Amino acid sequence: MTRKEKVNFIVQTLEQLYPNPPIPLAHKDAYTLLIAVLLSAQCTDARVNLVTPHLFALADTPAAMSKIEVAKIKAIIRPCGLSPKKSQAISDLSKIIMEKHHGEVPQTFEELEALPGVGHKTASVVMSQAFGVPAFPVDTHIHRLAYRWNLSSGKNVAETERDLKRIFSEKLWNKLHLQMIYYGREYCTARSHNLSECIICAQVGRKKEKL
């Protein structure tokens, strides 16, 4: 199978399985998405979705959140892990959004990544899912799949992101990264990976896996 045939096979398979992949994190706007993605670091989306309703009942705008004591934020988000760091980041970024961005979540990678607790992956999710800007956020699922499918030998998510952006058309990025996440969770799991049930790995996967 040529590289082009492999890419077409992957895209067509994912499109058949997940024609309209929903955003995994519950949110109502760019700000609540930003907070949800920040909370998802080293935490499952399912757990974040259990916690954010309680947090957003307390405050769901930068203006409201900037007035909440960090201790109160910390108490609510504790189930997500890393609560001391995440609660301080939520408080600080909310104040910065109010002071420097007129209460609106900034719409550039540079401005987003300058916010406390916001790395490139978080910024990429917000840019793609909230603002529709082409981006390819790479999480552990996508990093694993890219290696298994012989699309990248990147040692980290930054290298894998670079490779995937080079391989796939930019117009596919925003949808494709969601499709890959769902596929990784359902068919191509990190553990107990069943090759006979993994449609894509059976066709294009590596013979030996080191990850």
The mean pLDDT values, 10 residues at a time, for the chain of 211 residues are: 91 97 96 98 95 98 98 98 97 98 97 97 97 94 92 92 96 97 92 83 72 45
Whole-model pTM: value is: 0.92
Token output for 50:
């259990």
Q: DSSP per residue over 26-46, as a string?
A: --SSHHHHHHHHHHTTTS-HH
- Which residues are known catalytic residues? 121, 139
CA 44 to CA 48: how far, in whole Å?
6
CA proximity to 56, closest of 42, 83, 77 = 77
The predicted structure's pLDDT at residue 35: 98
The predicted structure's pLDDT at residue 207: 57
CA 93 to CA 189: how far, in whole Å?
34
Three-class HEC string of 54-65:
HHHHHCCCHHHH
Contact 127, 135 (CB under 8 A): yes
Contact 123, 109 (CB under 8 A): yes
- Helices H / strands E in the chain, number of each: 12, 0
Residues constituting the chain? 211
The predicted structure's pLDDT at residue 208: 53
Three-point CA angle 124, 19, 164, nearest 5°: 40
Distance of CA 30 to the CA centre of its chain: 14
The predicted structure's pLDDT at residue 169: 96
The predicted structure's pLDDT at residue 211: 45
First-to-last alpha carbon distance for the chain, in angstroms, is: 23
Contact 17, 1 (CB under 8 A): no
CA 143 to CA 71: how far, in whole Å?
35
